[in-house]
Structures are given as structure tokens and as C-alpha cells.
Amino acid sequence: MGFFHLFLLSLFTLLSFSSSVSVGGEEGAKFCPKNSCQLVLNFYKESCPQAEEIIRTQVKLLYKQHKNTAFSWLRNIFHDCAVQSCDASLLLDSTRRSVSEKEMDRSFGMRNFKYIETIKEAVERECPGVVSCADILVLSARDAIVEIGGPFIPLKTGRRDGRKSRAPLLEQYLPDHNESILSVLDKFSAIGIDTPGVVALLGSHSVGRTHCTKLVHRLYPEVDPNFNPDHVPHMLKKCPDPVPNPKAVQYVRNDRGTPMKLDNNYYRNILDDKGLLQVDHDLAHDRRTRPIVKQMAKNQNYFFREFARALQILSENNPLTGDKGEIRKRCNVANKRRV
Ligand code: HEM
Ligand SMILES: *[C@@H]1O[C@H](CO)[C@@H](O)[C@H](O)[C@H]1NC(C)=O
């Protein structure tokens, strides 16, 4: 080998070495935040070519039977990915050693977890042990968004499943229903989502429901004067008890106008002081977010564009890749350790 070839070879080694360093290391953080470069579109193209189709079919079937499964898949992506990593830790049941994220107050009202297993079982029948629950969680959200009238948002795959509940961290990472907008913006900005992105993601509250337990503090002992008075009788009718039985299924639909559609009606509602949660109300009144709320109320395409961008970032938050984590056999339990 001549000198020149050797020179080229070492140059090449140097380049590939430095680029591989920048993938995982601190240095590359701005190019490849927290492992996200390991994710690709259609990761299972060779290992399980039917995976995405199977998931889409199941999401559609389940949606036909229970429309609210779509709301659950959308909420899942927030509750899993915003807590340190999109690793399906959310889906793990409690064990003797740890409490499930699903049991925590931040997860109040989350539902349909058994149907994630239905999707996983359908995928396992075709490709056992190949497709992670973390990817199923993300792809089911992507497909659910389409079912409820939202945009198709290409989302990458290649995540692996975590082995541990992150329940002790939930309060630190997931904002509460009455948290200040400043603190909400801080929490999202820590995972790379900017203010328009946050405003767009909260547009998810255009579908689904809010239980009375999360509302009564705005109704009793006095009705919050910030509520639109036209909206109050409906809420009082749905939530007649100042201290609702937490087990009772008493709730109000988030968007009375188009409760089953992901659309920008949410923004018109909150500008109209019909937002149910304190954060929904505040989003329309905080000086940082109000101008964006107004734009999204007028322009559904702008809402969808920002929503897609933010959901992509959320879905790529610090995944487990390579030899980290595992591919769970069932989504609600970590695999038994081989000895
Ligand atoms: C500041 C951030 C957020 C807070 C404090 C918050 C809080 C809540 C609360 C308290 C509920 C009502 C649960 C119940 O009573 O059943 C809810 C419902 C919901 N949230 Fe959020 N949320 C936030 C952001 C998000 C994001 C980013 C998404 C999605 C990307 C999302 C999706 C949903 C959906 C779809 C529902 C309806 C669920 C159903 O009907 O089953 N939320 N949220
Ligand atoms: C928020 O609501 C919870 C009850 O859900 C309450 O315990 C807490 O004190 C409230 N926080 C603020 C800042 O009002």
C-alpha cells in the first residue's frame, strides 16, 4: 500500500471514528440529541416487513370497536416519551419490587392498556421477539392520529424496551393539571420542544375527557370566575359532587363541539374560556403562549405543522437502542432474565 492510500485510510478511520463518537458523546449532542440518530424510518423493513401494516390494521380495528382507544394511544406517547425515554416503561405492571407508572396520580384516567397487548400479540404472531413495545406505542399513536382526523406524521422506529418502571420520576417530568405555563414550557424545553410545539401538543386536549377529580377545584366551593359562564351549567351537571368518588366515572368531554376529532377547535374553546384544566385555560392567557393559541385557532394547517414537528421530537426522546434494553414478549411485563 502506498503512502497516499495509507493516508486516505487513516483519514477515513479518523472521520468514521469521530462521527461515531459524536453519535453517543456529549460533543455531538446538538447534531444527534440523546441517541435519536439510531432511529430510522421503517426499522423493521427487513426483520419484520409487515410490522407497520399489522399495527395499522389493529389500530383501525380497535378504533372501530372503541373510538377512545385512539385517544389513549395519543396520550401514551406523551406519558411514555416525556419521562426520560420512549422505552414503554409506562406499560409495565406493578411488581413486588416496583409500582407501575399506570398507578400514579399523573396517569389518572389512562385506559385501554389491554388493547396494546392485542396489537402486540398480532405482531408477535408474525414476528416473535422482533418488534419492541416502545415502537408499537409510538406507531399506534401515529396511526391513531390519522383515525381522529389529524395528519400522517412519519415517525422513526428502532427503540428497545426498558426493564424498569419510572414511576418515582413521573411528577418531576410530567406537568400537573394546574402547573404554571412557565414550568410546563421548561419541562418540554428540556426535551427540545419549543413554545409553539408545546401549544400544538396541548391541542391533543381537543379529544377525550377529563374526570371530575381534575375539575372540581375550579367548580367548588366557588366557580372559577375565569370560566365562561355559558359553560358552567354543563360542568356542574356532569360534576355534581364537590368531592367526587375517584372510582366513579364522572367526567366532562374536553371539546363539546368536536369531541372525537383532533382539530383546532381546542384553541377556540380555550380563547372562549371553555378550557377544562387550569393549564388549558392558562395557555390561552399567558403572554408567551396566547399569540400562538390565536394563530392556531385561525389556522389548522399551522397547528398540524407544529404538532407534527413536536411529536417527532417527543417520539425521539432518548430511546434505548443497540444492545440496551430488550424486546419484550408482552408489553406489561419485562422479560425473565436468562441465567
Ligand atoms: C401540560 C401538559 C399536560 C397536562 C397537565 C395534561 C393533563 C391531562 C389530564 C389531567 C387529562 C384528563 C385525564 C382524565 O381525567 O381522564 C388529560 C387527558 C388527555 N391528555 Fe393530557 N396533559 C398534558 C399534555 C398532553 C399531551 C402533550 C398530550 C399528547 C401528546 C396529551 C394527551 C391527552 C389526551 C389524548 C387526553 C384524553 C385521554 C382520554 O380521553 O382517555 N396531553 N391530560
Ligand atoms: C394542584 O392540584 C392538586 C390536586 O390535584 C393540589 O394538591 C395542588 O396543591 C395544586 N397545586 C397548585 C399549585 O395549585
- Do 128 and 235 reside in the same domain of the chain? no
Q: Is residue 6 part of a domain?
A: no
Q: Is residue 310 part of a domain?
A: yes
- CATH assignment of the domain containing 109: 1.10.520.10
Q: Is 28 in the pocket of ligand 1 (CB under 6 A)?
A: no
Range of the domain at 256: 192-314
Q: Is residue 47 part of a domain?
A: yes
pLDDT digits (tens, 9 = 90+) for 277-328: 999 999 999 999 999 999 999 999 999 999 999 999 999 999 999 999 999 9
Do residues 48 and 123 touch, judged by C-beta distance below 8 A?
yes
If one residue of 170, 178, 213, 243 were mutated to test the ligand 2 pocket, choosing by the most ligand atoms within 8 A of its CB, it would be: 178
Among 33, 67, 98, 32, smallest CA distance to 334 is for 98
The pTM for the full model equals: 0.91
List the chain pLDDT tens, one digit each, 339 residues.
444 454 444 444 444 433 333 333 444 444 667 777 899 999 999 999 999 999 999 999 999 999 999 999 999 999 999 999 999 999 999 999 999 999 999 999 999 999 999 999 999 999 999 999 999 999 999 999 999 999 999 999 999 999 999 999 999 999 999 999 999 999 999 999 999 999 999 999 999 999 999 999 999 999 999 999 999 999 999 999 999 887 778 999 999 999 999 999 999 999 999 999 999 999 999 999 999 999 999 999 999 999 999 999 999 999 999 999 999 999 999 999 876
Residue 221: how many other CB atoms lie within 10 Å: 7
Residue found under cell 486516505: 8
Known binder of ligand: residue 186?
no
Ligand nearest to the CA of 217: 2
DSSP bridge pairs for 209: 253
Q: How far apart are CA 139 and CA 53, in angstroms?
A: 10
DSSP bridge pairs for 333: 330
- Do 81 and 224 reside in the same domain of the chain? no
- Do 69 and 143 reside in the same domain of the chain? yes
Q: Is residue 3 part of a domain?
A: no
Rg (CA), the chain: 22
- Do 35 and 151 reside in the same domain of the chain? yes
Q: How far apart are CA 51 and CA 127, in angstroms?
A: 8
Q: Is residue 326 part of a domain?
A: yes
- Do 277 and 251 reside in the same domain of the chain? yes
- Do 93 and 58 reside in the same domain of the chain? yes
pLDDT digits (tens, 9 = 90+) for 32-54: 677 778 999 999 999 999 999 99
- Do 170 and 56 reside in the same domain of the chain? yes
Q: Is 184 in the pocket of ligand 1 (CB under 6 A)?
A: yes
- Do 161 and 217 reside in the same domain of the chain? no
Q: Is residue 182 part of a domain?
A: no
- Do 211 and 333 reside in the same domain of the chain? no
**In the chain, how many domains are there?**
2
Q: Is 285 known to be catalytic?
A: no
Atom number, ligand 1, closest to the C-alpha of residue 254:
37
- Do 167 and 204 reside in the same domain of the chain? no
Helical segments of 229-335, H only: 232-238, 265-271, 278-283, 290-298, 300-315
Grid cell for residue 4: 497516499
Work out the burial of residue 67: count CB atoms within 10 Å of its CB; fewer than 13 is exposed, 13-18 middle, 19 or more buried. middle
Grid cell for residue 178: 394546574
Do residues 153 and 142 touch, judged by C-beta distance below 8 A?
yes
Mean pLDDT of the chain: 91
Q: How far apart are CA 251 and CA 247, in angstroms?
A: 11
- Do 289 and 334 reside in the same domain of the chain? no
Q: Is 178 in the pocket of ligand 2 (CB under 6 A)?
A: yes
- Do 102 and 197 reside in the same domain of the chain? no
